[in-house]
Amino acid sequence: MVSGKTRDKIIKVALTLFANDGYDATSMEKIATGVGIKKSSLYTFIASKEALFWEIYEDVEKSYHSYMAQLLADSASMLPQDRLYYLFKNYLLYNQSTSTEDDVAERNFWIRIMFFPPTMIKDRLLNRALQHEMELGEKYQEIIREGIQQGLFREAPPEEILLSYYSLRQGLYALMSVYMSNMSQSQKIGQIDTVWDNFWNGIRFR
């Protein structure tokens, strides 16, 4: 029981350090100090800093993909344009409402590794993220193709519409994470709606 609590504390401390200081600046010494144990004792619970990082990453990634899968399931009966908007809005609101220190740490961890991936594991990290995003991208393209077939979207290659969608979404995500972090939830939704209306007016069939 004690060892389990210690390992949980290691995960929590490492998550916060990775989120706030970054992978490269987080040393085993810092993690041990944060936990309140000797550095040598860490290896009783974890194999290495990299192994610890990947364990944390996989937990955060799993939560994200479960969330996106639920959004896709919840929106399955919507019209294509409504479904795209629903996915757009809720992706952007993911982790924006943070109620605990752990929520804040997870959000900051995800933002840091997506925008500033650790140098030593950058290729592996980006390849993994790209693989999962391509799987989601196929589902987005299905929605876009459906919209085109129903005469709701203008005729254009689905991959080009998806590229514009991703560019807009990620750009707004960056703004919300950095410059809009102090906005209320309703203010953020207002910004999302404004941006989406401009995008929708560009891709809808006229």
Q: pLDDT of 99-137, one tens digit each?
A: 677 888 888 898 888 888 888 899 998 898 888 889 999
Q: For residue 149, what is the domain's CATH number?
A: 1.10.357
What pLDDT does residue 51 have?
94
Q: Is the pLDDT of residue 98 over 70?
A: no
Domain that holds residue 88: 50-203
The two three-digit tokens of residue 138, written as one number: 């196929």
Residue 70 lies in a domain: yes
Write down the pTM of the prediction: 0.86
Amino acid symbol at 75: S
- Any residues with CB less than 8 A from the CB of 90 and at least 6 apart, and which? 71
What is the spatial distance between Cα 49 and Cα 36, in angstroms, rounded to a whole number?
A: 17
Residue 23 lies in a domain: no
**Pairwise pLDDT comparison (35 vs 4), residue with the higher score:** 35
Number of domains in the chain: 1
Q: Of 2, 38, 42, whose CA–CA distance to 11 is shortest?
A: 42
Residue 25 lies in a domain: no
What is the spatial distance between Cα 20 and Cα 31, in angstroms, rounded to a whole number?
A: 13
* Residue 134 and residue 187 in contact, taking contact as beta carbons nearer than 8 Å: no
* Residue 132 and residue 65 in contact, taking contact as beta carbons nearer than 8 Å: yes
H/E run at residue 14: helix 2-21
What pLDDT does residue 118 have?
86
Residue 35 lies in a domain: no
Residue 31 lies in a domain: no
> What confidence tier does 162 reach under pLDDT thresholds 50, 70, 90?
very high
Q: How many residues does the chain have?
A: 206
Q: Is the pLDDT of residue 154 over 50?
A: yes
* Residue 191 and residue 176 in contact, taking contact as beta carbons nearer than 8 Å: yes
DSSP 41-110: HHTTT-S-HHHHHHHHHHHHHHHHHHHHHHHHHHTTTS-HHHHHHHHHHHHHHTTTS--SHHHHHHHHHH
Residue 54 lies in a domain: yes
Q: Is the pLDDT of residue 2 over 80?
A: no
- H-only helix segments in 75-203: 80-93, 101-115, 122-149, 158-178, 185-203
Residue 168 lies in a domain: yes
Residue 36 lies in a domain: no
